[in-house]
Amino acid sequence: MNRKTLYISSILLFLLVGHIKAAWLLIPMDNTQKNHLKAYGIAYWVLDKGVEIQWLLNYRGGSYLMPYNELFDNECTIRGVTSMVLTDVQASSIRQQIMEPDVNMDIIELHKVPKIAVYSPKNKQPWDDAVTLALTYAEIPYDVVYDQEVISGMLPTYDWLHLHHEDFTGQYGKFWAHYRNYPWYKEDVAANEQVAAELGFTKVSELKLAVTKKIRDFVLGGGYLFAMCSATDSYDVALSAINVDICDVMFDGDAIEPGAQEKLNYNNCMVFKDFTIVQNAGKYEISNIDVTETRPKSLREGNDFFMLFDFSAKWDHIPTILCQNHDRIINGFMGQTTAFNKDLIQSDVVIMGENKVANEARYIHGEFGKGFWTFYGGHDPEDYKHRVGDPQTDLNLYPNSPGYRLILNNVLFPAAKKKKRKT
């Protein structure tokens, strides 16, 4: 072999090696993933570096594909997240498989890091919020906002807002009957009354209604609202009761307005219809939207499940995004609002998870104005009964929780480049 031939061979070898070197990093989200929850944090972290990610819908549980960078690979190792290094050829093969017209998969581009706000009181108890647990565990940053920030008009500066165990009717979660003598309840009432007075409201219920309207305007303008537990039904109940006093004397100093039920305006609601409010101050329930007290008595921790619907990834990408998981059957869990009576859900709402036998919806989604919302029944996906005073859930024990994955799907949703819905 002469020198010229050797030189050409060396160049070809160099080009070949360069071609097959690592080009992509795949984060699988099927049962091979060691830590599903922290994988969402990796995706957020990479987006925050200004790097776009491909969300491979229905491919290995909703995997993430990103340009290879040693920094990204090392971060996966540090956080205990399973990752795979791929060549261009391997990545192209996956994309080709996904784009086959008869395969229920698709590729969604994640192109921006969402700015996240959690609506939470300053005196929040450890048992109050599964979402802040998920965000903290996944290492996804968020801001805490409450009534002062909402009333001052800060919500439009965020992409994503979370509401949890909150009572927007001004009835303090209907805790009065059982907990009115507890220090934490008294502190909660005093703190809310102080904030209401500082912001110029005569009642806490009036403040909460004003907050509810601000949140409604946030969604109308293009924001994304994610709510769990009592924030779900109390939100729509508050909207239905505009100009109607539904609070009893121990909550706001005067009695419920006569004929309050008949004066509700369901046209103001975003999600529900035709519901009945619970006017008994001693009953730990806001409305019959919630099924906690009406669901079959046979349902208990060992047999309480709900099923995720299987949507068309190429045609209905939004619910497909929100339902990405490595399991389709999810363990149920209770809350002040455990799940939703399907008969009271507006017809244009997309039901994404349900217990069909019990006629209850667990996981629902819709559009409102230019924005989106998702409601998720129950309080903590890994704490079945969630009692007041229980210690917070240690997510180190549940790194692969399918129930918590649904929360984090919603967190990344605003990062997605939306395709026009085809159905």
Q: Both 94 and 68 in a single domain?
A: yes
Closest C-alpha to 411, from 110, 156, 61, 83:
110
- Specify the pLDDT at position 14: 41
Q: Both 211 and 356 in a single domain?
A: yes
The token duo for 358 is 């019990």
Please check whether residue 147 is in contact with residue 207, taking contact to mean a CB–CB distance below 8 angstroms.
Answer: yes
Q: 99 by DSSP, 3-state: which?
A: helix
For residue 422, tell me if it sits in a domain. no
For residue 122, tell me if it sits in a domain. yes
Q: Both 358 and 385 in a single domain?
A: yes
N residues, the chain: 423
> Which residue in this structure is represented by tokens 């529900």?
272
Please check whether residue 116 is in contact with residue 411, taking contact to mean a CB–CB distance below 8 angstroms.
Answer: yes
Please check whether residue 289 is in contact with residue 275, taking contact to mean a CB–CB distance below 8 angstroms.
Answer: yes
Q: Both 30 and 161 in a single domain?
A: no
Domain count, the chain: 2
For residue 420, tell me if it sits in a domain. no
Q: Both 259 and 161 in a single domain?
A: yes
Q: Both 337 and 403 in a single domain?
A: yes
- Specify the pLDDT at position 164: 85
Q: How many CB atoms lie within 10 A of CB 84?
A: 17
Q: From CA 351, how far away is CA 319, in angstroms rounded?
A: 9
- Specify the pLDDT at position 419: 60
> Which residues of 120-263 form beta strands (DSSP E)?
143-145, 160-163, 224-228
User: The domain spanning residue 38 has which CATH number?
Assistant: 3.30.70.790
Q: Both 246 and 231 in a single domain?
A: yes
Q: Are strands 106-110 and 143-145 parallel, antiparallel or unpaired?
A: unpaired
What type of residue is 341? N
* CB proximity list for 10: less than 8 A, separation 6 or greater: none
Please check whether residue 120 is in contact with residue 112, taking contact to mean a CB–CB distance below 8 angstroms.
Answer: no
For residue 260, tell me if it sits in a domain. yes
Closest C-alpha to 283, from 167, 168, 176:
176
Q: Both 53 and 143 in a single domain?
A: no
Last residue of a domain, one of 110, 143, 177: 110
> Which residue in this structure is represented by tokens 């799940």?
339
Q: 256 by DSSP, 3-state: which?
A: coil
For residue 22, tell me if it sits in a domain. yes
Q: 180 by DSSP, 3-state: which?
A: coil
The upper half-sphere exposure of residue 243, i.e. CA atoms within 13 Å in the direction of its Cβ, equals 6
Q: From CA 194, how far away is CA 188, in angstroms rounded?
A: 10
Last residue of a domain, one of 110, 145, 162: 110
Residue 52 belongs to domain spanning: 3-110
> In sequence order, what are the beta bridge partners of 361?
340, 354
Q: Both 154 and 86 in a single domain?
A: no
Q: Which one-letter DSSP state was computed for residue 144?
A: E
> Which residue in this structure is represented by tokens 């059957």?
329
CA dihedral 288, 294, 300, 301 (to 10 degrees): 0
Q: Both 229 and 306 in a single domain?
A: yes
Q: Both 265 and 232 in a single domain?
A: yes
Q: 374 by DSSP, 3-state: which?
A: strand
End-to-end CA distance of the chain: 64
Q: From CA 201, how far away is CA 147, in angstroms rounded?
A: 12
* CB proximity list for 411: less than 8 A, separation 6 or greater: 40, 44, 114, 116, 134, 135, 138, 140, 160, 226
Q: From CA 322, how far away is CA 406, in angstroms rounded?
A: 7
Over its length of 423 residues, how does the chain's per-residue pLDDT go in tens digits? Answer: 555 444 444 444 343 444 445 699 999 999 999 999 999 999 999 999 999 999 999 999 999 999 999 999 999 999 999 999 999 999 999 999 999 999 999 999 999 999 999 998 876 654 568 999 999 999 999 999 999 999 999 999 999 999 987 899 999 888 888 889 999 889 989 999 999 999 999 999 999 999 999 999 999 999 999 999 889 999 999 999 999 999 999 999 999 999 999 999 999 999 999 999 999 988 889 999 999 999 998 999 999 999 999 999 999 999 999 999 999 999 999 988 999 999 999 999 999 999 999 999 999 999 999 999 999 999 999 999 877 777 889 999 999 999 999 999 999 999 997 665 554
For residue 206, tell me if it sits in a domain. yes
Please check whether residue 292 is in contact with residue 283, taking contact to mean a CB–CB distance below 8 angstroms.
Answer: no
For residue 10, tell me if it sits in a domain. yes
Last residue of a domain, one of 110, 137, 155: 110
* CB proximity list for 304: less than 8 A, separation 6 or greater: 331, 332, 333, 355, 384
DSSP-assigned states of every residue in 275-339: --B---TTSS-SBTTB-TTTS-TT--TTT-EEEE----TTT-HHHHHHT--S-SEEE----SS--
User: The domain spanning residue 322 has which CATH number?
Assistant: 3.40.50.880
For residue 232, tell me if it sits in a domain. yes
Radius of gyration of the chain, Cα coordinates, nearest whole angstrom: 24
Q: Both 134 and 89 in a single domain?
A: no
